[in-house]
Structure 1
Amino acid sequence: MRFVKHNVIENFNQSTPKEKKVLIVEEMSKAYLLFPNAVAEVLDNNGIKYKSTHPEHLAEAVNKNSDNLKMLNRVIRLSFLVNQDGSVIRNNHQKTISFRDVMQKGSDFLKKHPKELKDATLIARDMMKENLYSKTLDKTMTNYLNMDGQEKISLSEGSGNNSAMYLLLGLVAIGFFAYYKTRGK
């Protein structure tokens, strides 16, 4: 699977509020796809029911229970550990890894960023209340599932066309391009 080379948590404070929302949704989408058993374990520990460990079912369960900050914080932690090393390609990835194993490998990394984790959790909760999460996640989840070689997946929520979101994502892409272009000089 290929995805953008960056680590969100280290650049989180430099992002605008709109960029933070987009980044959180992207990272959560990766977590649902790459760590489905770990996300399911978090949901089980919080007594949250879900249909299956398919990414779209996990996303629906998290979205419906967005008031549970303990659960949401743990999912955000997983999300920030998806691309911890900033690598572009993930080969031989183990999707059955448990939540505890992921946290053991990334605990030192997460301890360096407590403020970012708290901010991301609160932003994610607010996005879910505004229903922005579902609309953005629909497009992002489909993109990541297609990158992983899976067929088109349709989520039950937010399947409408949103031109403002395309504009926002385009501006974010241009911003990242300009940032990395000027950083090299």
Structure 2
Amino acid sequence: MVFMRSDPSLRDPDLQLHFTPVGYKLTPDELIVLKDPVVTAIPNVSRPESCGHLTLRNGSFRDPPRIFARLLDAESDVRALIAGCKYIRRIFAAPPLARHVIEELAPGKPEMTDADWEEFLRRESVTVFHPVGTCKMGADPTAVVDSTLRVHGIENLRVVDASIMPHLVSGNTNAPTMMIGERGADLILSGEGRKE
């Protein structure tokens, strides 16, 4: 795992690079495992500016919502991912690792312009399934829950999961989501914010 800046002028890292000693390819429908020996290296934008949305499909709660991920809507996300891809290539070209590299499977084209990278990223990018923010916490008109995780306007209903995050955290969502669960359990057990 590497946290890095796509641009040295940035104050904080905006990319996370993942290195896995298993070859795989993610598609919108499946995870394809490749034959060894393969290392998978992928960049992801830590705080993407692209923002999706969801809507109800119809009036039935049994039907799944319509999800519009809108990946790579923001040009800044594309630029950051291009920088991440270039940095991954630099890592694999470094002398300690280069002698172990047999070939690059994807994109596999040695000379890549930024336009080539963008075309590759738009064709191959998928979400890493860490959506947040659909029931964000806050006091503004777009907030769904308050600071005690109670749904605004509905008594005795709380949302206790990653959807309450107003913004995506910079790293993985697992630990923060567990902490939200712990805090939610404490609030429920103590009765804080509960109306009788």
> Same fold by TM-score, threshold 0.5 exceeded?
no
Q: TM-score, normalised by structure 1?
A: 0.27
Q: Which has the higher helix share?
A: 1
Give the alignment's TM-score, normalised by structure 2.
Answer: 0.26
Higher gyration radius (CA) = 2
Which structure is richer in relative contact order (CA contacts within 8 A, separation 6 or more)? 1
Q: Give the number of the structure whose residues are more often strand, by fraction.
A: 2
